[in-house]
Amino acid sequence: MVLPMTDAASKENAIQIKRDLPDAFGPRYFRLGSCAIVEARSTNLYHYKAFVGFHDVVVEAGDCVYYIGNDARSASLRRGPTRVGSHHVATVIRGYMPEDKSTTIHQGTTLPYVNACSTKQLFPPERPGDPTLQLLYMPPYTSEQAHHIHSTVRVVYVLSGRGNSVVGIGDHTVINELSPGMVCLLEPMCPHHFETGSEALLCAPLHIFSSTGRHELDHPMAYGTHLIDR
Ligand SMILES: [Fe+2]
């Protein structure tokens, strides 16, 4: 872990903020070899359950599971009722049941993104706003977007390479290193971005339901606010 502050007071402040971050912003990190189950918080809009590490995952009728293949170079989506053995990360999403599908993850990305990053829709949303599993490639020395927030949970699996997850506001920022096999779970409205150093980073973010441009176009607060000079 890297703390971006230099003097002792700032460091202590950062450590305090780090302690508070799980409550304030909700980032959670699981290194390779971890074993955990994370369930949607009572405040979340959509229900999910993420199984990190090896689990025998039972999926009820009406739900589905997205999971990274045991070779860590493939991904699958299965609708319930079913049962899958997962070695890396499997996420059950309640009330969404598209058809079964699988994909290898060998070809890299196809869609240009910001700051020289690029993406691929491993499993696109069936309809606007549905869950989606994406592939994100970040070349060395870049950053994914500016600092930003999402309206729904992200469960991110790190496929290869290395980078940092930067979470917080202004000076109150904590950086966690991302390494292969890690799972990074970001709560809605968690201020964050990823960045890379000398290595590229390839990861697969699962959107627990997604966003579309309509959310901004139909945003009463954003479009009912008119900035004025003071
Ligand atoms: Fe993000």
How far is the centre of ligand 1, averaged over its atoms, from the C-alpha of 73 (Å)? 22
pLDDT for position 1: 44
pLDDT in tens, the chain (230 residues): 444 445 555 555 555 555 556 557 879 999 999 999 999 999 999 999 999 999 999 999 999 999 999 999 999 999 999 999 999 999 999 999 999 999 999 999 999 999 999 999 999 999 989 999 999 999 999 998 788 999 999 999 999 999 999 998 887 888 999 999 999 999 999 999 999 999 999 999 999 998 776 666 666 666 666 777 76
129 CA from centroid of ligand 1 (Å): 16
- pLDDT, one tens digit per residue, over 155-213 is 999 999 999 999 988 878 889 999 999 999 999 999 999 999 999 999 999 999 987 76
CA 105 to ligand 1 center in whole angstroms: 20
**How many Å apart are CA 16 and CA 137, to the nearest integer?**
32
Sheet holding 163-169, edge to edge: 172-178, 163-169, 192-195
Cα–Cα dist 189/90, whole Å: 23
CA–centroid distance, 168 to ligand 1, in Å, is 13
Residue 81: is the preceding peptide bond cis (ω within 30°)?
yes
Whole-number Å distance, alpha carbon 21 to ligand 1 midpoint, is 17
- Give the per-residue pLDDT at 132: 95
- Residue-level pLDDT at 5: 43
Gap from CA of 223 to ligand 1 centroid (Å)? 23
Q: What is the pLDDT of residue 172?
A: 82
In angstroms, what is the span from residue 86 Cα to ligand 1's centroid?
Answer: 25
Task: Tell whether pTM > 0.75.
Answer: yes
Task: Using the mean position of ligand 1's atoms as its centre, give its distance from the Cα of residue 52 in Å.
Answer: 20
Determine the Cα–Cα distance for residues 156 and 13; give it in Å rounded to an integer.
28
Q: Which DSSP letter does residue 1 get? A: -
CA of 89 to the centre of ligand 1 (A): 18
